[in-house]
């Protein structure tokens, strides 16, 4: 085995750890995979003989890559396009990418409220015990400043997690009821879960789709066109709120963002541009 092959073998051994770090920082399996791949490219182009602690070096690099991606997200909505839903996490991701230890849906949603620096400091220190000296180096700040960022993030996470978890649980019940009624073609049950003034919109299709409003009209639209796709829908966080990803053969064909008000669905936004969805949907087919 030559040196390059040995380096590749060491990287593959570290890959699960790097995926776990990137996933918790970014909240997206697809983006985590990309970040880890970029880390490999940086390793392959480096002077590996000068790396004394490969594990620490890789964690530092993947942290920097993720920080750049978080900052890019904050640069503005134009990065995604106005009709693109950013899908943070599908509830199948933990099992399929084996990243479940110590992280849940509510926590990931709370992490979305942190600044990039706070999120990185909290994840690296509290979840992976990375020293503040190393975190400060990634952030370009002192160890003391990195410690303050992690402490501030910790307080925010502790303060918001119970509320977010309770809200998500209630919203998910509504979305699950909507999916169940859609799958079974049950018009009356669908009406029961829809707000009387519910609004249904479709984004990202070649032909402009008319907005549909009113529970009866929306229910008819859903059952006429969407019920055949409902069995392929999975609960997801879409643009920070409850939603569904519809995928077939491992490829997303739609994402749906729901507005939930007083226990009923008040808005339904369907995003149907496959090209724009592809990079933001962490869903893989069940094997």
Mind listing the pLDDT tens digit for each residue in 14-51?
998 998 899 888 877 778 889 999 999 999 888 767 78
Helix (H, G, I), strand (E, B) or coil at 256: strand
Q: Which two tokens stand for residue 115?
A: 């600044």
Confidence tier at 100 by pLDDT (50, 70, 90): very low
Nearest-10 Cα torsion for 108, 113, 117, 121: -40
| CA atoms of 115 and 265, how far apart (whole Å) | 30
Nearest to 139 by CA among 114, 113, 116, 111: 116
| CA atoms of 62 and 58, how far apart (whole Å) | 6
pLDDT at 240: 63
pLDDT at 75: 54
Which single residue is written with the structure tokens 């070096």? Answer: 57
Helix (H, G, I), strand (E, B) or coil at 172: helix
Over the stretch 138-196, which tens digit does the pLDDT of each residue have? 999 999 999 999 999 888 887 665 555 557 778 888 999 999 999 899 999 999 999 99
pLDDT at 287: 35
| CA atoms of 127 and 103, how far apart (whole Å) | 9
C-beta pairs of 93-96 under 8 Å, 24+ apart in sequence = 93/23, 93/29, 93/282, 93/283, 96/29, 96/284, 96/286
* φ, ψ for residue 12, nearest 5 deg: -65, -35
The domains located in the chain, with CATH, are 3-86+98-161 (1.20.140.160), 165-280 (3.10.450.50)
| CA atoms of 165 and 103, how far apart (whole Å) | 12
| CA atoms of 139 and 45, how far apart (whole Å) | 22
pLDDT at 110: 72
| CA atoms of 147 and 124, how far apart (whole Å) | 11
Nearest to 109 by CA among 202, 197, 239: 239
Provide the percentage of residues in the chain whose pLDDT is more than 70. Answer: 76
| CA atoms of 219 and 192, how far apart (whole Å) | 10
Confidence tier at 102 by pLDDT (50, 70, 90): very low
Number of Cβ within 10 Å of residue 246's Cβ equals: 22
Query: Is residue 264's pLDDT more than 70?
Result: yes
Contacts of 158 (CB under 8 A, 6+ apart): none
Query: Is residue 279's pLDDT more than 70?
Result: no
Helix (H, G, I), strand (E, B) or coil at 92: coil
Over the stretch 202-258, which tens digit does the pLDDT of each residue have? 887 766 678 999 999 999 999 987 778 878 888 877 766 788 888 776 667 788 889
Cα distances (angstroms) measured from residue 129 to each of 21, 101, 110, 132: 11, 14, 20, 9
């Amino acid at each position: 085995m030559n040196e390059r092959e040995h380096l590749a073998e060491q990287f593959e051994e570290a890959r699960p750890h790097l995926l776990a770090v990137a996933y918790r920082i970014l909240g997206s399996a697809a983006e985590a995979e990309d970040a880890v791949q970029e880390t490999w490219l940086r390793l392959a182009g480096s002077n590996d003989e000068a790396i004394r602690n490969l594990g620490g070096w890789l964690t530092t690099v993947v942290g920097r890559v993720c920080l750049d991606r978080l900052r890019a997200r904050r640069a503005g909505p134009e990065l995604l396009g106005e009709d693109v839903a950013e899908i943070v996490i599908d509830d199948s991701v933990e099992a399929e990418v084996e990243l479940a230890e110590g992280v849940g849906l509510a926590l990931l949603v709370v992490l979305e409220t942190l600044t990039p620096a706070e999120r990185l400091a909290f994840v690296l220190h509290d979840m992976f015990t990375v020293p503040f000296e190393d975190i400060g180096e990634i952030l370009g700040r002192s160890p003391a400043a990195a410690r303050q960022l992690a402490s501030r993030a910790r307080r925010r996470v502790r303060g918001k997690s119970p509320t977010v978890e309770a809200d998500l649980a209630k919203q998910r019940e509504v979305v699950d009821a909507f999916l169940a009624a859609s799958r079974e073609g049950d018009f009356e049950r669908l009406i029961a879960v829809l707000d009387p003034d519910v609004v249904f919109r479709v984004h990202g299709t070649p032909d402009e789709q008319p907005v549909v409003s009113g529970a009866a009209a929306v229910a008819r639209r859903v059952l006429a066109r969407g019920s055949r796709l409902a069995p392929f829908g999975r609960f997801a966080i879409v643009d920070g709120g409850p939603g569904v990803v519809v995928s077939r053969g491992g490829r997303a064909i739609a994402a749906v963002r729901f507005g939930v008000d007083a226990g009923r669905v008040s808005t339904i936004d369907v995003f149907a541009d496959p090209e724009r969805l592809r990079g933001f949907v962490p869903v893989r087919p069940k094997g």
